[in-house]
Amino acid sequence: MIGRGLTLVFSASVFLLSAFHANNAIAADKLQEVLQRGKLIVGTGSTNPPWGFRDDKDNLVGFDIDIARALAKGLFRDPNKVEFVTQASDARIPNITTGKVDITCQAMTVTAERAQQVAFTIPYYREGVGLLLAKNGKYANFDAVKAAGSSVTVSVLQNVYAEDMVHQALPQAHVDQYDSFATMYQALNTGRADAAATDMSSLRWFIKQNPDRYIDAGYGWNPQTYSCAVKQGDADWLQWVNTALREAMTGVEFPAYSASFQQWFGQTPPPPAIGFPSEMR
C-alpha cells in the first residue's frame, strides 16, 4: 500500500509539473500567437484626449493609439493591422489577465500594486500635474502664483486627493473642486479661479488647441510613469514590446514617435544622441 501511495504521489507530481510547463509554453508563445493571427489586439480608451478619443470623423486617435500602431508596424510592417478594444479604466487589468487583449496601452500609471497583476513595459511617457493659466491673466507663471499665497484660487477636477495634490505645490492656495474638466476650465475662463491644476498631458493638449488663450505656468509635480501592460509570464512578448518601444523613443522609429509627441502635446522630445547610448548611463 505504501508503494502504491508513493506511485500515486509521483504520478500526480509529474502531472502537475507537466501542466506547469505546458502553461508556461503557452505563455511563452504569445509573440508567435500574435504573428500567426495577423493582427494585434490592443485595449485602450476612447474618451480621454490626447490619449485615446474619437475625432470629428469618429476615428479613434491619440497618443496611445499611435503607440499601438507603432507596435503593429513592428510586427507586420503595417500600422493598420491592429484591433482596438475600447475599455473603461477599471477593465484595463482584467482584459489583460483574461486574455481578451494582447496588450493594454491606456495612460496607465505604473504602481507596485498593479505590477503584482500585470507585467509593465518600459515607460513611454512621464505624467505629472501642471498649472494652466489665462494668457492675459493676473499671474504670469508659477512663481507669481505661489508668491500670492492664500489669495490664489485653483480649480481642479473633483477627487479625494485633489486638495492635498494642489497643496503639494501651493500650500496656501484655496482649492475649488469641479465635477468635470469643462466646469474646471470654465472657472478659469470666468475668473472664479486664477489657475487650473490638471494632468500635464491634458494641459499641453488644451494649450495646443487654444494657443491664444492659455499658457503653462512652467512647473510640474506629482510624477507618474505611464507604461503599457501585458500578461505576466509572457517573457518573449514583453521583451519584444520593450524592444519596439525603446527603438521608437531612441532608435530607427524615433521620427514617428517625435511627430506623434508634437501632434498631441505640442512639444518635440529631445532627439537621441549619436554615439554612446545615453540611456545606458
- 78 and 203 fall within a common domain: no
Taking the CB of residue 256, how many other CB atoms lie within 10 A of it?
Answer: 15
Is 204 among the domain residues? yes
Whether 80 and 143 have beta carbons less than 8 Å apart is answered as: no
- 118 and 237 fall within a common domain: yes
Is 139 among the domain residues? yes
236: cell is: 518573449
Whether 173 and 152 have beta carbons less than 8 Å apart is answered as: yes
Exposure string for 75-107, b = 16+ CB within 10 A, e = fewer: bbeebebbebeebeeebbbebbeeeebbbbbbb
CATH for 214: 3.40.190.10
- 118 and 234 fall within a common domain: yes
Is 33 among the domain residues? yes
- 118 and 21 fall within a common domain: yes
- 74 and 131 fall within a common domain: no
- 31 and 170 fall within a common domain: no
Count the domains in the chain.
2
Is 280 among the domain residues? no
Q: Is the four-CA dihedral 94, 96, 100, 105 of positive or negative sign?
A: positive
208: cell is: 495646443
- 72 and 98 fall within a common domain: yes
pLDDT in the model for residue 28:
52
Is 277 among the domain residues? no
- 173 and 255 fall within a common domain: no
The predicted model scores a pTM of 0.87
| pLDDT mean for each 10 residues of the chain (281 residues) | 43 41 55 98 97 96 98 98 97 98 98 98 97 94 97 96 96 96 94 96 94 96 98 96 97 97 95 89 79
Taking the CB of residue 131, how many other CB atoms lie within 10 A of it?
Answer: 29
- 218 and 147 fall within a common domain: yes
- 159 and 236 fall within a common domain: no
pLDDT in the model for residue 21:
44
Is 2 among the domain residues? no
Is 182 among the domain residues? yes
Q: Which residue, 270, 228, 265, is CA-closest to 72?
A: 228
- 57 and 196 fall within a common domain: no
- 134 and 246 fall within a common domain: no
Is 138 among the domain residues? yes
Q: Which domain holds residue 178?
A: 127-225
> 275 by DSSP, 3-state: which?
coil
Taking the CB of residue 117, how many other CB atoms lie within 10 A of it?
Answer: 13
